[in-house]
Each structure stands twice: as structure tokens, then as C-alpha cells.
Structure 1
């Protein structure tokens, strides 16, 4: 679908300096929508000074928050480029989930200009690590109507793919007003999120009804999106893109190099995507497990980069020799803890461990991706707080590919039992692999869904030949 030229009429009406006939939609004013949008936008403008406080306070912990403020408010110095395909993924997890989709389209349609937005610096770093200069990254601006207008009119997306649960009303209405088809891809909506939208349901429901399709992960997600206001015909269940995850290239060589450096034959467990409130419990778990296996190595990958130094200090204070990926590159034979203080290597390190604990689950965070360790053959243990991965965790547990501890002690029991039982680990590995294989296909279905709204193909001129001897 080409850029809608009538969009400029909407922009002109908002004082953005463009002039064109207004669309039929703009002529048919929905006064109910106008009222709730106005109240929502007024509330955002009133609290907008707090966005500066947020950026500054986060900046003291993560320096990247002090940079690129112009993008947060959609202040772009450069002239607009040619129309693009826009994907929004809030942070690292959503970027990783979108990777199979983006990679496939990059191969099939190298002519498409891509813009990917995130909200977090870690999401930005992951975009750069995955795609480098092939994709332009900017931060998604705050959902102020002026900022969203400037963003959309600058990048001129011909198609918007919104990952999972990013329901910003002015963003969705702005796309509708400018004729940009929106697909909510890999859409999920937990019961907790549905309750959280309760006060904004009249507004969110109207915004949802502007999208082309909600491609839900499961029937439960589809039901909740309908309860939030999406029309029945808008919602389709396509499955979860996370099942289409692929093992990293060169994985066998990575694991062999890890084993050679770390002393080989050592038992290894990994604590991944842990949060601040779980760190003391990880230390206690490692101490308990080391009492049974004195040579046990812990690979520790905190969820947020600002916690890297803190977990190093906690491990050192517990009396263990600590190595880090940035400093030593590989664990040394005498290391008790090895901190993975890089981004984008977690799946490879999962494959180096006999068992994995996935964090965000001993605190009411909602859990993190349980399929990544299973995809590389590592049994998975988690805590009880899994509302963000309710469907995946239910399927994995039913298949025998996941063990859930009721608390930290229960997680320790599961880790100890698996480290003690190679046969049980092998059964979980086989169950996880079979589950992932059986549930693949969301990628193909999503590509089929959006095919009609992809921009028309543009032939790329070949690079000029270099004259001999030049």
C-alpha cells in the first residue's frame, strides 16, 4: 500500500505545514473518539514534564538514556527519506521475537527500507547487533499527538508491524489518519494487562478497531483482545513467532571453545534474565548447589546491563572467583561465576549449560523467553510468576519440557534434581525440541497475512562495474 497523500490534509489541520484535500474519514467526525482522544492527549501533555525526569533518573543508571532525546520527541533534523516498512518492538525480547520475520523479509525483499523503533537502549543495541546498517533504528517518540504526527510524516511508513502488546492510542489513530495499515504481530495480552487497560478501555477499544489485523499468539490472547474492543473479524490466531527461533550459527564451535577454556567436564548451570529482587536468591542457590558439586560453574546473565557490575560484586562478595565475558572472554578453570555482560549471546551460552534457570519468575515480573534454552537443548527451570508466558509455560510443562518451582527453594530442588539426573535432562531436551518443532509455522502464516500490504517491489540497480586496473 502506497503512502496516502490525503494524510497531508490531516497534518495541515494540525498545523504541520502540509496542504492536501482531507480524507473522507476526516470529514466524518467521530465526536466520541475526538472527546476521549482529547482527554487522553491533554493528560499526556500535563504529565509530559515527567518524561524528562524519567530520562534523567534512568540516565544516572544507564548513560544511554542521556542521549538521543530528540528522537523521544520526534525532532528530526534530516529531510524525510523514501517510504519505509516500520516495525516497533519495545525491547530486547520483542526484537528477538521479531528477528525471524525481519530476517526473512530482508532476504526476500532487499529493496525495502526498514525503520525499527524500540523504547529501551538495550533494544536499540540488539537491533544494531542483529542488523547493523541494514536497518535504521530510532526510539519511538512519546505518544503525544504532535510527536506521533512528526514521526509518521518523517518516516512515511507504508506498513506498520507492532510487536505483541504496544497499544499507544495516538500512534494507532495517527496511522489510521494517514492511511498506514497496522498489524499487531505476535499479539499477546495477559489477564493482568487486560485489567490494567480497564480505565482506558473506551479509548483503547476505538484505537484497536483501526488496525488491519491482530495476529494473536493463542486463543486466550485473541479472546482478551476482543474483550478489549477489537472486532471479531479483526483477530486471527497465528501462533507464536518465538517457536520459529533458530539456533545461533556456529553454535557447536562456540560450545567447544567454552568447554576448552573452562576446564571441560565441569557441571554448569545458567541463571538468565534475572532481576534485582532475584539476585540474592541466585547467590543462595549457587551456594547450595556448590555444596553438592564443588566445581560447579554459574553463568549469570542479568536482564538489564546496569546490573552487570552489581552481580559481579555480589558473586565476589560471596567468595567466588568471578570472570566476565567482556574482560576474560571465557570462564577460567577456577572461576565459580562467569557474568555474561554482553548482549545477543545468551542462546549460545544456554547451550553451554546442563540446566537453565530463566528469571523474571521469582518476582512478579511475568517471566522471560522459555523457548530459547529449549531450542538449543538445555532443560529449563523457572519460578511461578509466568503471566507473560502463560501459554508457552503451560505447553512446556504439559510436554515435560519445563519444571516450575513454587519459590526459590523449589527452583533449587529442580536444579539439583536435574544436575543429578542426565536421563531426566535428556528427556526434557527431547520434549522441548519436539514441542518447538510441532508449533513452528507462525512465521509463514504471518508472512502470508501481511503480503498484500507490503510495498510494491522496487528494482535495485546493480553496482557499477569497476574498470580493470582501477
Structure 2
């Protein structure tokens, strides 16, 4: 009884705070909409209002944005393959995540935005879609969402779960509430043993948590399509050296410019493939490159670079994995700026050596594994990143050795998908 009272009190305070913050969510959508117009659309979904009539959706997967959608792809594909007629709902929070869902599955899955964590909005969402199970990807721990799922009898599983030391500290104030919310889920399938320990510290029970590995290792690569794209790319630029700066953030853009300038003093015809993390920066980084005095091509406008281009901006979504294969060496961003890093496995999977900055708290285990096999170089700052890139561009044998090591690690890491499917098997609705 006392525990129930404590939960109601904590939920009440949390929900009251979110109601007060509703005007802030409107401001946020408008502010983001100036940079990315898609944020000005489909507001009704953000607040759990749907125009269609309620109908059951047996399996619901929530993946916040592009990275999580890509990580969930092996699981979603496996569920669709097992029962092609099964109705499956995929929710995201970002428009880029929404676009990625449509690019991967089209009309094979239903997609809406997950509403804000307001009790009323979440209840309307659950009443509209009536999921038989909720599979929540990585670190989306929303208390009202989890409590409302429990109250509605919807079993939830956190899959490919990760929790960095920083995120654990960030939950400090809400830990009493978040811990109770975590104990409503059936299982927490973590990427690593470190993640498992942190989820227990946050409030999950040891019985709930299982270290099953990282679904990113189970991503399927169309090697034929990747090879064909890389061959076409190379045919347009000749025998030039190429490096890629991938998933960069605004505070890293000056460093990318400076690194490219320094590298071109040694290799004057060096080409940079530049893939900003967020679409609203596509035009901005192209302009920065023009202002630096370079000739710039873009994927959306020119499709391919030519022998005279100095920078090629990858301003499309869903193609980064293939374009890694066009580069001699890859720098993965979100790591010079204190973001926590981005997916280091993508370049490794296609045999490209990886360079990154020091801020890797979101990919500690993957960085450790890549470092262990010699497929990763970590620079403490932009100067060190430049030095690693220069060393690798000058040494074809080391590039080959690192690339083969990364590719082998990616192949050996598979298995999380099978273990995740086994973990959720008892809770999956019957076909």
C-alpha cells in the first residue's frame, strides 16, 4: 500500500511538471521547424491525437531516431519475415527517424510519432493502437509510458538497451521514479555487461536484465550494392585518396575544415566526403566548404563528385553506410564535441579503418572491441585526429590490416538478434 502511494505521488509530481512544460514543447517544435520544416507537421501525433479509428497492432517498436531505427532493423526484419501478415507499428520522435522507417519498410509497417510522456497522450496512443507488446530500443525510459503500458496490460521489453555512466548520473534526480518504472518491464536486453550493471543500479532487478549483445552487429549489408556504388564513385574521381567525415555536429565543423586543409597540403587532390549528422546542416557545411575555397559537389544535386571537386557533401538520408566503402579512412563524429560518439561499426563493417575523437561514452563497448582488434584509432583532440588520418592515408598496408580486423569483428559479433528473439518469444502475440 505504501509503495503504491509513493508511486502515485511521484507520478503525480512528474506528470504535473510535464503539464507545466507543455508550452515549452510547442516552442521546441516551432524552433526546430525553422531549421527542419517537418517538425511543423503532424503535431496531433505528438499529443496522442489520431484521426483514424482504433485497431489492434500486435507488435509495436519504438526507435527514437535514425540510429535507433537502423539498430532495430534486424529485429523488425526478422519479425516481418516470421509473419509477413503481422501488423507492426514503428514509432519515432524525429522526422529523420520517420523518413528512415519509410525508406526501409514503406507501407509494410505503420508509423506515427510517439507522443510526449503526458499520461493522457500516452493513454490515447495505447487505446488507438492496442499493442500486444512494446519493444523499446536502447535508452528510451519514459516513466508515464512504462506505467501506462503496465496499467493497460501491454508487456514491454527494452531491447538493445544501453545506459552510459553519464546517463545514469543524469537520472539521479528521477531515479526513485525511473527505478519503479523500469521494474514494470518484462526484460531489459542489454548491449553489454556494463550496460546491464548500470540498469540494475538504476532500479531494474537482476532477474529482469540479460546481456544479449548488440543488434548493430546483426545488421545485414548488401555487399553487392555497396561494391557497385563504391565502384561507380571511384570511376568518377580516378585514383584520388578519399576520407569521410561522418555524423559531424556543428561544433566539429571548423575542425573538419582545418583537418582537410592540412591534409591537402600533403595530398592536394584529396577528396572529403562530408556527412553531417543532421539534415539542417547539409546546406551549412556545403557553404563552409565553399567559403574555404573548395569546389563542392552534393549527392542530392550532382549525384557524384568529379575529378575537380574537393568536397562531396552527402546530403541524403540512408546512404551513409554504403558511402563509407568509398573512403580510404573514416572519421566518425559526435566524438570531438562532447556528444558521446556515433556508430563506429558502420565503417568497420565495410572494411574501412576508423578514427574518432575521445568522447565515446555512448559506444564504450564497441570502441573497446574495435580497439582490441586494432581497427580503431582514437585522437584526444582535432590535431591528434588529423595525425591519425594522415598516418593512415600514407600507409595502405595498415589501412588494409585495420579494415580486415574491423570486418572480422563485425562478422564475429553476430548473435544478439537470435538471443533477443528468444528473450521476447513468450511475450510475442501469436501470429
TM bucket normalised to smaller = over 0.9
Partner of residue 251 from structure 1, selected from 226, 232, 235: 226
**Secondary structure of 1:203's partner?**
helix
The separation in 1 between residues aligned to 2:13 and 2:201, in whole angstroms, is 23
Q: Distance in 2 between matches of 1:314 and 1:175?
A: 47
Matches within 5 A, 1:84-95: 84-95=58-69
Structure 1 residue 108: deviation in Å?
Answer: 1.3
1:337 paired to 2:285: no
- For the 8 Å contact 1:245–1:375, the answer to whether it is kept is no
Question: CA–CA distance in 1 between the matches of 2:372 and 2:57?
Answer: 46
Larger Rg: 1
> Residue 41 of structure 1 is aligned with which of 6, 15, 18?
15
Whether 2:236 is the aligned partner of 1:261: answer yes
For the Cα contact (< 8 Å) 1:248–1:347, is it kept in 2?
no
Quote the residue 1:140 is aligned against. Answer: 114
Residue 325 of structure 2 corresponds to: 351
Residue 418, structure 1, aligned to residue 402, structure 2: no
Shift of 1:28: 11
- Distance in 2 (CA, whole Å) between partners of 1:362 and 1:106 is 38
Q: Give the Cα separation in 2 of the matches to 1:117 and 1:232.
A: 28
In structure 1, the residue matched to 2:360 is: 386
Does structure 2 retain, via aligned residues, the 8 Å contact 1:41–1:145? Answer: yes
- Residues 25-77 of structure 1 show CA distances to partners (whole Å, capped at 9, x for unaligned) of xx998111111111100111111111100001111111001000000001111
CA contact (8 A) 1:112 1:455 kept: no
Structure-2 separation of matches of 1:374 and 1:436: 7
**Which residue, out of 260, 270, 278, partners 2:244?**
270
Which residue pairs with 1:313 in the alignment? 287
For 2:92 and 2:384, locate their aligned partners in 1 and report how far apart those are by CA, in whole Å. 35
Gaps of 5+ in 1: 1-26, 458-470
Output the TM-score relative to the length of structure 1. Answer: 0.90
Q: Aligned partners of 1:54, 1:402: CA distance in 2, in Å?
A: 37
Structure 1 window deviating more from structure 2 (28-37 vs 265-274): it is 28-37
Q: Which residue of 2 aligns with 1:361?
A: 335
2:158 is aligned with 1:184: yes
Question: Does residue 236 of structure 1 match 2:210?
Answer: yes
Equivalent residue in structure 1 for 2:260, among 283, 286, 292: 286
Give the aligned partner of residue 24 of structure 1. Answer: none
> What's the Cα RMSD here?
1.1
* Cα displacement string for residues 338-369 of structure 1 (whole angstroms, at most 9, x for unaligned residues): 00000000011000000000000001000000
